[in-house]
Amino acid sequence: MPHDRLNFPPFNRRSFLKRCGMGMGTLGLAALLKDAGLLTAHATSNVAPLSPRQPHFPGKAKRVVHFFLNGGPSHVDTFDPKPALEKYAGKPLPMETLKTERKTGAAFPSPFKFKKQGQSGLEISELFSNLGECADDLTIIRSMRANLPNHEPSLMLMNCGESVMSRPSVGSWVTYGLGSMNENLPGFVVLCPGGYPIKEAENWQSAFLPGVFQGTLIDSQHQSLDKLIENIRSDYASPGLQRKQLDLLQRMNEEHRQTRQEDPALEARMQSFELAYRMQMEAADAFDISREPRETQELYGSGIHGRQALIARRLLEKGVRYVQVWHGASQPWDDHENIAANHRKLAGQCDQPIAALIKDLKRRGMLDDTLVIVGGEFGRTPVGELVKGKEPSGRDHNPYGFSMVLAGGGVKGGHVHGATDEFGFKAVQDVVHVHDLHATILHLLGFDHEKFTYRYAGRDFRLTDVHGHVVRGVLS
């Protein structure tokens, strides 16, 4: 492999600009030039793809945490109250029934109570009463749209901006664009307890971006560090011996480099060993929540979800750029049946931890520059799903209208954006397509989504492809 091929961002400003498609954008260029590391291009460069980089313009958010409630939480039971459903309970809705994956029938009112929360009076269901306490920090987008009522394409759309073809995930794009604030940890971490969601690693793929930008999956059910991160510690050498080894290594490498001064890759690799040595401690520390005060542990709760939310905060605090926290393996929120009991159970698992994270970030002064995203790949139908021989007790998938919750990182607090129709079937006012959400996330991080591109296969690719508008209405 060509070590001195100038293909990597920090290596060479010009190729970086070209690759990022920012070369022509004056804003992007100006911002980039501020970055001393990039200005000096060749001289000081190392090949560290995770070193921090500046976006097109100063973004409000510096990092992202995305709680992925996979399976499709029902918006009419959580963040989008629809009293009109009561009126038609058990009767067909006075509107066209939109086509979804399975057959649906009559209006199915929410079994949960909604309550006005905070000074803003945001209406949130009892399922998320803890999150309700943060109402004045939340923006609820009630007018989300996706394309298809099937899990796989919708997960891909939400995570990668494209339903089918292999495209980089949002986390990969963001880490590619911004690097990490801590090179001792992966820049993009994915927490999922007990296995994989459906579509598996494709949800956090880097596709044509370098592999280092792919999400690093951590099965948050585990507690032993060895199972959390590969090769994180030695079973073969004591720290003392390892230090001596490293000293020897660096002396050898330095001698080797004497006659090869021109080569930044040699220097970069030398540095990476020092980083790795430190990473062994740092990673151990990041995942060790027992170091948190008791009060904080209690705030998050003791279950798996509490633990992974707390790990997420520790990672963010240590400079990880993008943390995605999945509810669990497969698709837990996919309640085609018995939604009353199941949604209650699921929300019971994650409501307190999510709220705790927001509160905790806030008191640490981190909420202002941390974007919190909560939601699934789509919502659910306001009508009941027909299951042969049974009373409808669940809802089908619904890409026509659903809710996403945002907090921190430059979004408004106590704000509702957009609306679905009277019954919650379809987004009708200020519709926000998933592409628009992506454009907005990138905007909050300081990127113009139309200029943030990567050259691959003869074309400049964008997260938002040819779509997407920044949703100005949610910006604070």
Partner 1 sequence: MMRIAGYTEGVFTPRRADTIALNMLRGYNVCLLDTKFIDSQRIVTMLSRATQTKNWSSNLQSGIAPALLASIICALLLFSLDARAADPTGGHDFFESKIRPILVEHCYKCHSAESEKIKGGLRLDTRETLLKGGDSGPGIIPEKADLSLLIKAVRYQEEELRMPPKVPLSPEKVAALVAWVNMGAPDPRSGSANQSIRPDATAENHWAFKPPVASPPPRVATKNWAKTPIDNFVLDQLESKKLSPSPDLDRRRLIRRVTYGLHGLPPTPEHVEIFLQDQSPEAYEKLIDRLLASPRYGERWGRHWLDVARYSDTKGYVYSDREEVRYLHSYAYRDWVINALNRDLPYDQFLRLQIAADQMKCDATDLAAMGFLTLGRRFLGVMPDIIDDRIDVLTRGTMGMTVSCARCHNHKFDPVSIRDYYSLYGVFQASTETSVPLPSPSVSDEARKTYETGLQTRAQAYTNKLVELSEKLAQRIRSRTGDYLDSQLRLDQFPNEDFYEILAPEDLNPAFVRRWQEYLFKSSQTFDPVFSPWHELMRLKDENFQEEARITWEKLKSENRRQINGLVQARLDAGQLRAKKDLVLIYTELFREILVRETNTVPESNSLPLEAAVPALRDVLFGSQSPTRPPDGNLADLQFYFEEESRVQLGKLEKEIDSWKVTSEGSPPHAGVLVDRANPKTARVFKRGNPGNPGEEVPRKFLEFFAGTNQFKNGSGRLELAQLISSPSNPLTARVLVNRVWMHHFGQGLMKTPSDFGLRSEPPSHPALLDYLASRFVADGWSLKKLHRLILLSRVYQQESRSDLQVDPNTAAGVERTDRARLEDPENRLLWRMPRQRLDFESTRDSLLAGSGEIDLTMGGRSIPIFENPLSRRRTVYGYVDRQFLPGVFRVFDFANPDLHIPQRHQTTVPQQALFFLNNRLIMESAHALAKKRSSPNFEQDLHQLYRTLFQRTPTSAETDRAVEFFQDAKSVPAPIRTEPPASAWQYGYGKVDPISGEFKSFSQLPHFEKVAWQGGPSWPDSRLGWLQLKAESGHPGNDLDHAVVRRWTAPHDTVIKIQGELSHPSKEGDGVHASIVTPRGVVASWLIHNQKTRTELDNIQILKGESVSFVVDCAKNLGYDDFKWAPVIIQTGKKENDPEGDQVVEWSAKKDFASPFEKLPEPLDAWSAYAQILLASNEFMFID
Near partner 1 in 181-210, by CB under 8 A: 183-184, 186, 194, 198-202, 205-208, 210
Per the CB < 8 A criterion, the answer to whether 449 and 470 are in contact is yes
Residue with smaller CB distance to partner 1, 328 or 413: 328
Alpha helical stretches, state H, 134-224: 151-160, 170-178
To partner 1, the closest distance from the beta carbon of 333 in angstroms equals 18
136 to 165: interface string for partner 1, x by CB under 8 A: ------------xxx-xx---------xxx
C-alpha dist (Å) from residue 315 to 63, 184, 189, 191: 10, 11, 8, 11
| Other Cβ atoms closer than 10 A to 43 | 7
Q: Which residues contact 261 (CB under 8 A, 6 or more apart)?
A: none
To partner 1, the closest distance from the beta carbon of 35 in angstroms equals 19
249 binds partner 1 (CB under 8 A): yes
To partner 1, the closest distance from the beta carbon of 164 in angstroms equals 5
472 binds partner 1 (CB under 8 A): no
How far is the C-alpha of 81 from the C-alpha of 416, rounded, in Å? 12
Q: Which of 97, 120, 242, 296 binds partner 1 (CB under 8 A)?
A: 242
31 binds partner 1 (CB under 8 A): no
Residue with smaller CB distance to partner 1, 78 or 184: 184
Residue with smaller CB distance to partner 1, 183 or 351: 183
Residue with smaller CB distance to partner 1, 36 or 466: 466
129 binds partner 1 (CB under 8 A): no
To partner 1, the closest distance from the beta carbon of 148 in angstroms equals 6
88 to 127: interface string for partner 1, x by CB under 8 A: -----------x-xxx------------------------
Q: Which of 223, 338, 429, 476 binds partner 1 (CB under 8 A)?
A: 223
Q: Which of residues 373-392 bind partner 1 (CB under 8 A)?
A: 388
Per the CB < 8 A criterion, the answer to whether 117 and 124 are in contact is yes
Residue with smaller CB distance to partner 1, 81 or 179: 179
Per the CB < 8 A criterion, the answer to whether 100 and 397 are in contact is yes
Q: Which of 40, 166, 429, 476 binds partner 1 (CB under 8 A)?
A: 166
Per the CB < 8 A criterion, the answer to whether 52 and 180 are in contact is yes
Q: Which of 226, 291, 338, 364 binds partner 1 (CB under 8 A)?
A: 226
How far is the C-alpha of 155 from the C-alpha of 447, rounded, in Å? 23
How far is the C-alpha of 392 from the C-alpha of 384, rounded, in Å? 5
Q: How far is CA 257 from the centre of its chain?
A: 40
Q: Which of 33, 39, 89, 241 binds partner 1 (CB under 8 A)?
A: 241
Per the CB < 8 A criterion, the answer to whether 73 and 343 are in contact is yes
Q: Which of 33, 34, 42, 116 binds partner 1 (CB under 8 A)?
A: 42
245 binds partner 1 (CB under 8 A): yes
To partner 1, the closest distance from the beta carbon of 410 in angstroms equals 23
To partner 1, the closest distance from the beta carbon of 419 in angstroms equals 23
To partner 1, the closest distance from the beta carbon of 441 in angstroms equals 21
Residue with smaller CB distance to partner 1, 84 or 276: 276
To partner 1, the closest distance from the beta carbon of 423 in angstroms equals 21
Strands (E), 9-153: 63-68, 104-107, 114-117, 122-125, 138-145
Query: What is the amino acid identity at position 110?
Result: S
Q: Which of residues 287-306 bind partner 1 (CB under 8 A)?
A: 290, 302-304
Of the candidates 244, 254, 252, the one whose C-alpha atom is nearest the C-alpha of residue 277 is 244
231 binds partner 1 (CB under 8 A): yes
Q: Which residues contact 112 (CB under 8 A, 6 or more apart)?
A: 77, 78, 125, 126, 127, 340, 343, 344
Q: Which of residues 340-359 bind partner 1 (CB under 8 A)?
A: none
Write the DSSP assignment of 90-115 as a string of letters.
TS--SSPPPP-SS-EEEE---SS-EE
Q: Burial of 208 by CB count in 10 Å (0-12 exposed, 13-18 middle, 19+ buried)?
A: middle
Quote the tokens at residue 227: 């199972």
Residue with smaller CB distance to partner 1, 238 or 365: 238
| Other Cβ atoms closer than 10 A to 150 | 16
Query: Collapsing DSSP states into helix, strand and coil, what is residue 176?
Result: helix
To partner 1, the closest distance from the beta carbon of 425 in angstroms equals 17
Residue with smaller CB distance to partner 1, 48 or 124: 48
251 to 280: interface string for partner 1, x by CB under 8 A: xxx-xxx-xxxxx-xx-xxx-xx-xxx-xx
How open is the CA angle 220-411-76, to the nearest 5 degrees? 70
Residue with smaller CB distance to partner 1, 304 or 340: 304
Quote the tokens at residue 471: 């949703």
